[in-house]
Amino acid sequence: MRNTILFLLMIAVFSCESTPAQEAPEEFIRGVYGNPGTLLKAGYSFDSLGMNAVFVRSVSLNREFYETSKKQGVKVFVEFPTLNGKEYLKDHPDAWPIDEKGEKSPPADWFMGICPTHPGFKEFRSEQLKEILREYEVDGVFLDYVHWHAQFETPEPILPETCFCDRCTGAFGAAIDTVIPGETIPQRAEWILNNVDSQWRKWRVGILNGWVEDMGKILKSQQPSAKLGVFHCAWYPADYDSALYRTMGLDPVALAERADVLAPMLFHHMKGRPTTWVGEYVAWLGKTLGPERLKQTQIWPIVQSHNNPGIVSAEEFRQVMIEGSKAPASGIMMFSDQSLVEDPEKIRVMKELYSKGRPK
């Protein structure tokens, strides 16, 4: 009898040692994007609102906000305005995106992009990211404005053709081992668009992928456990004459191969879409990435509460929160904090949904 008991104990111990411990599933991310400090100033606390994460613009990040967030038990993710070039262009006009006519592409509504191949700008952004990481131990960095100069946060997108500066066309020519013919920018642009358009589009996508890779290397070298996220335009491949790939320079699958989290910008009101579109896009993105990629790359949509254009009702807000939280999403955030402060009913909706874990 004693030998039997010892034998069973030995089996039990061996089984425990040889079976790897199962990691607990990550908690569903429930956050707010923008300047969440607005909520603190209004007298709210993040934990009392059911939040477990904040997504703060890098310009709004400060030590007091960071310490308060950590004390309240929420993760701190920092938005990083990757290819927003408005301020940099004031002192570096040679970084201006050039259109097919050889002219400076004008601002696209409120947004002003930049030439992504400008080496000085990339160095500038790299140093900014390193400075943030030296100062704060973050839970992740979310790259924003990862696209060629354009405007998509509106019912009528602005989609210029860029960038045909000498630097870009020279780099493209070297990539395809071809001297681009033409003495002027318009001549070279015309030749590219008429003769090697598909290669041109692929090259542009590669430039953005390179940005994601390089920013990711900086992040992981300094804080290996931090997540690399990417905010991105939420269009289907065929929308606006395939503008997601052709004009914006985005390939969601390629982004997912380089990032830990994709955050599609599902601003239904800005884009004139029904609330159901939010859930439909999440499902489409999950299917597009496939089950194997979803084991490595998460989907955390950002949905709209912000009252522009017009008013997003509290009920609309409720619906997009629920739609955006559907599987395969493993987190969600809303924009913006100011819209919550202005409407206590939206605060109530968010608190109710977030208290359930995954909003449903």
Query: Which of 353, 343, 283 has its CA nearest to residue 318?
Result: 353
Q: CA torsion sign, 137 to 142 to 148 to 154?
A: negative
Q: Which of helix, strand or coil describes residue 266? A: strand
- Predicted local distance difference test score (pLDDT) of residue 9: 41
- Predicted local distance difference test score (pLDDT) of residue 1: 46
8 Å CB contact between 285 and 230: no
pLDDT band at 7 (very low <50, low <70, confident <90, very high): very low
Domain contains 65: yes
Domain contains 204: yes
pLDDT by residue (tens digit) across 225-242? 999 999 999 999 999 999
> What single DSSP character describes residue 224?
T
How many C-beta neighbours within 10 Å does residue 184 have?
10
Q: Is the pLDDT of residue 21 over 50?
A: no
Non-local CB neighbours of 239 within 8 Å, separated by 6+ positions = none
Q: What is the token pair recorded at 33?
A: 């994007």
pLDDT band at 2 (very low <50, low <70, confident <90, very high): very low
What is the pLDDT averaged over residues 25-36?
93
Query: Which of 36, 26, 11, 88 has its CA nearest to residue 347?
Result: 36
Number of domains in the chain: 1
Q: Which ranges constitute the DSSP H helices of 176-267?
A: 185-195, 197-222, 239-246, 252-256
Instruction: Give the rounded distance of the alpha carbon of 96 from its chain centre.
Output: 23
Q: Is the pLDDT of residue 22 over 70?
A: no
Residue 266 to residues 212, 220, 299, 313, Cα–Cα distance (Å): 21, 28, 12, 16
Domain contains 19: no
Bond before 224 cis per omega within 30 degrees: no
Domain contains 4: no
Q: Which of helix, strand or coil describes residue 254? A: helix
Amino acid at 200: W
Domain contains 1: no
Domain contains 211: yes
Domain contains 86: yes
The continuous run of DSSP H or E covering 334 comes out as strand 331-335
Residues in the chain: 360
8 Å CB contact between 146 and 231: yes
The continuous run of DSSP H or E covering 172 comes out as helix 166-175
pLDDT by residue (tens digit) across 332-356? 999 999 999 999 999 999 999 999 8
Its domain, for residue 176, covers 25-354
Q: Is the pLDDT of residue 13 over 80?
A: no
Q: Where residue 177 sits, what CATH number does that domain have?
A: 3.20.20.80
Which residue's structure tokens are 């939040």? 51
Domain contains 217: yes
Kind of pairing, strands 298-299 and 261-266?
Answer: parallel
pLDDT band at 25 (very low <50, low <70, confident <90, very high): low
What is the pLDDT averaged over residues 306-315?
93
- Predicted local distance difference test score (pLDDT) of residue 16: 43
